[in-house]
Every structure is written in C-alpha cells, then in structure tokens.
Amino acid sequence: MSIWDWLLNPSGLTPHGFCLSWAPGLVTIHVVSDVLIGLSYFSIPLAIAAFVRRRPDLQYGWVAYLFVAFILACGTTHLMAILTLWVPAYGIEGLIKMATAILSIATAAILWPLIPRAAALPSVAQLEQLNLRLRESEAEARLSNLELERRVAERTSQLERANAQLTEALAERSQAQQALARNEAEYRASFEAAAVGKIQTDPLTGKYIRVNRAFAHMLGYEPEDLIGQDGWSFTWPEDREEGREGYARLLAGEVSTYHREKRYLRRDGQPVWGRLSGSIVRDPETNEPLLSIGVVEDIDERHKAQAALETAKRDLEDMVEARTAALRQRDLLLREVYHRVKNNLQIVDSLLVMQARQVSDPGAKEALLSLRSRVYALGLVHHQLMGSTNLSTFDVAPFLHELSTNVVEGGADQNIELNVEAIPLEVGLDFAIPLGLLVTELVTNALKHAFPGRPGTIDVMLRRGADGSIALIVADNGVGYAADGAHAGGTGSGLGASIIKGLVLQMGGMMSVAGDKGTRVEIRFAAPVAS
C-alpha cells in the first residue's frame, strides 16, 4: 500500500459517514458544528495574532503565538472531521491530530511554569495604582520642582546681587586703583617736573633715593649721577655740622619740619645757596622713619643779591659813618676855630684895655674903648655860632638882646631903659656881623648924644615887613638930631657914621632917619637867605 493510499484510504476503511449510516440529521449536525468550530478556531488565532502584533510590549508574546498554532491545529482537526465523513483520510487526520497533540502538550507544558511569572506581571489595576502614584509623585515632584525653581531663582537673584555688589566693588576698587595710579602719576610728574629741587633720601643711610632734574641741575649734575650718593657730601663742608644737628632733631621727632638756608657743593666746587624744607615720612604704626623728603629752592641769586645789598648797605653805612665822622671832625674844627677867634678877640680886647690905660687924651681913650664894643660884637657873633647846633646859623633875637644890653650897661652912667623886641630869625655869620656892628654903632650913638645928663629909653626892634623885608629900628626918646645934628646915623662925619653908611650899603639896605621925637633910625633890607 502506498503512502498516498495510507493517507487517503488506508486498508479500505469506510468513511465516517458510513458509521452514521449516512443519517442526514447526524451528518448535518456534525458538518455544521465542525464547520463553525473550524471557522471560529481559525478566527480566534487570527484575532490573537492581530492583538499581539499591536501590542509588541506584551511580555511572553511568543506564548500567544503558541496558542495561535495550537488553536489553528485544533480548527484543522475539526475540518478534517468533516472531510472524514466522506473520505476515509484517517492517515492525514491522524497526522494532524498528532501535530495538534504535540502543540497542545507543548503549550500545556510551557503554560504551567509560566503561571508564576505571568502572575508576577503587574495587573492593570496595579498599573493604574502605580500610575496614580506616579502622577502623585509627579505632582509632588512638580511641586518640589517649583520650590526648587523658586529657590534657584532666589539664589540666582542673590547671586546676581552679590555679583552686582562684586562688580561695583571691583569698579570701586578699579577706580581707587586708577585714582592711585593717577595720584602716583601726578606726584611723579610734579616731582620730576617741579621747578624747585625735590629730593627723597633714605633716613638711615642719608643716601639719595630720588632727586629731580631741578635739584640735580642746581648742583651741576643729572639726577642719575646723584641717586645712591651720600646727600651730606653735597652740602658745603662748613654747613654740614649745623645741618646734621638740625637733621638729627628732625629724625628724633623733636621738630616736625626742618627749614634751613644752606650752601650746597656744586660739581665745579663752587657753593650754591639753597633753602631746604625737610620732613620725615614715618611708619604709621611703629613711627619708624621710612623716607626723608626735601624741597630745595634755589636762592643763590637772591642770596648773592642780598649779600651784594648787604655789602652795599655796609659800604653806605661806612660812608655815612665816615661822613658823620668827617662832619663831627668839621664841627670840632669849627668849634676850635670859633674858640680861637674868641680867644684872639679877647687878646685884642686886652690890648685895647692896656692901651687905653696908657693914653691920657680923653678923646683917644674914648675911641679905644668904643673899639672894645665893636670887638665885643664880633666875639658875640662867634659865641652864638658856637652854641648853635649846626655851627653856621643862630637865632638873632637873644643876640640882639645881649649885644644891646652890653652897650647900654657898659656905656651909660645915667638911668637908661633898654627895650629889645626882635622877631626870631635864623642868621649866619655874613648877616650877623654887619647887623651886630650896626646895632652897636646906633645904640652907642644914642647913648652918647640923645640923653645929655637925663634918663631916657632906647628901643631896639627887628621886624618883618609885609613884603618880607627886615627892618632894624633903633629909636630913642632923647633930644633928637635937630637939637644935636652930630649924632644921627649917617649924618655925622665921624668913624661911626662912615661905618654905618658902609654897612648899610654892604647889606643892600635903605636907611631912613627921623628926628622930630627923639631919633629914630630905620634900616630896611632883604631878609637873609635863610641858612
């Protein structure tokens, strides 16, 4: 028997319908049921497969495909049951049932151990629960997220504030640094470019740390020549000791500033005068001296000018002193001369006295004695000159008083009253001598002729006229010249008269004589050129 036969008609068996005696009812029930079952069994796995395909996330999906295969196999057996009603293909039916059995066993065998694992899979409720919790925690998370964001924002704004502050502080600091740099630059510029000398010295070693051009040039150097050099070596040797003493006081803090005018030693060996103002920069905490700072003004020109001025002043003072001494010497000599003149006049006077005693003729005796009063007038002028401060002029008023009194008291035996009235007038020798001699002559004349044996009054006056001229008036209340033509000035022919005429002429004066009430002689002349 062939395989084909075995599959479709093994051993001549009868179809299954035969068993049913071909009863139409039975056959129909079987056919309809198997068709429906077969169709359903084909439909169910298709639906399962479609479902599984749509849900690739399902775990154990392959089990579903096992079910698909097993159910399809079951459906096929039902279709084979329809076929075998009419065709005895029990071979094929057996093979299909065997395949279905294998799939069934496999499915059954796999399904049991799968149960605990499938049961472990979360259920939908669980998932929903989980989901809910997830949402809750999501909300919580969102809340905490919000809080976090708020805190982040807060921190951010804090940071921004801090940042702004920091930026501001940085800006301030930068400004301060700029200001510092500007100050430094300004200081440097003012130090370097100053017209006055500026120096910075190490207070301990005394060496120059920094000097500017003005200072270096004042000494005939460039700044770089001086830096690092001992400052004292540029001070004029004679000024060093005093300078050191002052500087020591400054260093010790006894004085806060230090001012000196001193000489510096120029490169060419010459001194140059500078005015140094020094001070010390100290550590604010330890008070240790850090730097000594000096400003040096070039006062050489000024000093030289001052020295020249002082020399000139000294010369002038010497000259004034010499002149004063010369003047004093001149005064001394003048006084000596006046003294000698007076002494000589005294000798002349003595000679006249001695001579007068020798002569017996009364006229000659009188003439000699009248010479005495003229000599006295000359001597009195010198006496007045000697008493004046300038030794060249004196006030005429006391002179006239003394002179007239001497004539009147020396010559009169009777009671004659003398009135002298003179303006104050400074006169010199050239004016006083002729004036004195005139007064002597006129008063002597009045004494001799105006008062024969009777008392009377003589007035001697010196006046200043409206035109500035000077008038000398000698007047008496005596007999007048009409009664005795011999006595009036200028009218007589004796020595006295010619002396009067000559002196009036010498003085450039004008004389007028009135003789109606006593005698009045007035001589008018220009005022002396005041000394």
Nearest Cα residue to 481 out of 509, 453, 455, 442? 442
Round to whole Å and give the CA distance between 521 and 531: 27
- Residue nearer to another protein on the CB measure, 410 or 424: 410
CA atoms within 13 A on the CB side of 498: 3
Angstrom distance (rounded) from CA 113 to CA 60: 12
State which residue, 202 or 402, has the beta carbon closest to another protein: 402
Measured from the CB of residue 405, what is the shortest distance to another protein in angstroms? 8
Considering the complex, what minimum distance in angstroms separates the CB of residue 375 from another protein? 7
Choices 119-127, 292-300, 369-377, 502-510 (CB under 8 A): range interacting with another protein = 369-377
Pick the closer one to another protein by CB: 376 or 525: 376
The residue whose two tokens read 């989980």 is 130
What sign for the dihedral angle of Cα 78, 83, 89, 92?
A: negative
Classify each residue of 334-345 as buried b or exposed e, where b means 16 or more C-beta atoms within 10 Å of its C-beta: eeeebeebbeeb
Residue 236 CB, nearest approach to another protein (Å): 50
DSSP class per residue in 395-423: EHHHHHHHHHHHHHHHH-SS-EEEEEEE-
Instruction: Pick from 210, 260, 372, 463 the residue near another protein by CB under 8 A.
Output: 372
String of DSSP letters for 252-319: HTS-S-EEEEEEEE-TTS-EEEEEEEEEEEE-TTT--EEEEEEEEEE-HHHHHHHHHHHHHHHHHHHH
Rule CB under 8 A: say whether 357 interacts with another protein: yes
Nearer to another protein, 79 or 442 (CB): 442
Radius of gyration, CA atoms only, the chain: 81
Alpha helix (H) residue ranges in 121-226 = 124-193, 213-218, 223-226
Cβ distance to another protein smaller for residue 287 or 346? 346
- Contact map string, positions 282 to 321, toward another protein, x by CB under 8 A: ----------------------------------------
> Would you count residue 349 as binding another protein (CB under 8 A)?
yes
Contact between 485 and another protein by CB under 8 A: the answer reads no
Task: Assess 365 for contact with another protein (CB under 8 A).
Answer: no
Closest CA to 99 of 73, 65, 75, 63: 73
Site for another protein in 393-422 (CB under 8 A): 406, 409-410
Distance CA 397, CA 435 (A): 12
If the CB atoms of residues 74 and 378 are measured against another protein, the closer one turns out to be 378
Nearest distance from residue 441's CB to another protein, in Å?
A: 16
Instruction: Identify the residue among 183, 306, 311, 350 touching another protein (CB under 8 A).
Output: 350
By CB under 8 A, is residue 364 in contact with another protein?
no
98 vs 325, which CB is nearer to another protein? Answer: 325
- Give least dist CB 341 to another protein, A: 9
- Residues 6 or more apart whose CB falls under 8 angstroms from that of 34 comprise 78, 79, 81, 82
Region of residue 471 (left: phi > 0; alpha: psi -120 to 50; beta: else): beta
Q: Is 343 in the site for another protein (CB under 8 A)?
A: yes
The residue (of 81 and 345) whose beta carbon lies closer to another protein is 345
84 or 373: CB nearest another protein: 373
Instruction: Return the number of the residue (387 or 502) whose C-beta is nearest another protein.
Output: 387
Could you tell me if 203 and 292 are in contact, meaning their C-beta atoms sit under 8 angstroms apart? Answer: yes
The DSSP bridge partners found for residue 521 are 474, 513
Nearest residue (CB) to another protein, 291 versus 386: 386
Select from 79-87, 135-143, 311-319, 368-376 the region that touches another protein (CB under 8 A): 368-376
Total number of residues that touch another protein (CB under 8 A)? 25
DSSP state of 235: B
Using the rule CB under 8 A, give the single segment among 109-117, 127-135, 383-391, 520-528 that binds another protein. 383-391
Site for another protein in 322-341 (CB under 8 A): 335, 339-340
Q: What SS3 class is residue 389? A: coil
Q: Is 432 exposed, middle or buried (0-12, 13-18, 19+ CB in 10 A)?
A: buried
Question: Shortest Cβ distance from residue 347 to another protein (Å)?
Answer: 5
Q: How far is CA 302 from each of CA 267, 275, 414, 514, rounded to the nearest angstrom?
A: 20, 11, 81, 77
Whether residue 463 contacts residue 470, with contact meaning beta carbons closer than 8 Å, is answered with: yes
Residue 353 interacts with another protein (CB under 8 A): yes or no: yes
345 part of the interface to another protein, by CB under 8 A:
yes
Scanning 176-184, 285-293, 342-350, 440-448 for contacts with another protein by CB under 8 A, the matching segment is 342-350
- Which of 262, 342, 449, 524 is in the footprint of another protein by CB under 8 A? 342
Q: Could you say which of 167, 233, 324, 346 contacts another protein (CB under 8 A)? A: 346
Binding site for another protein (CB under 8 A): 335, 339-340, 342-343, 345-347, 349-351, 353-354, 357, 372, 375-376, 379-380, 383, 386-387, 406, 409-410
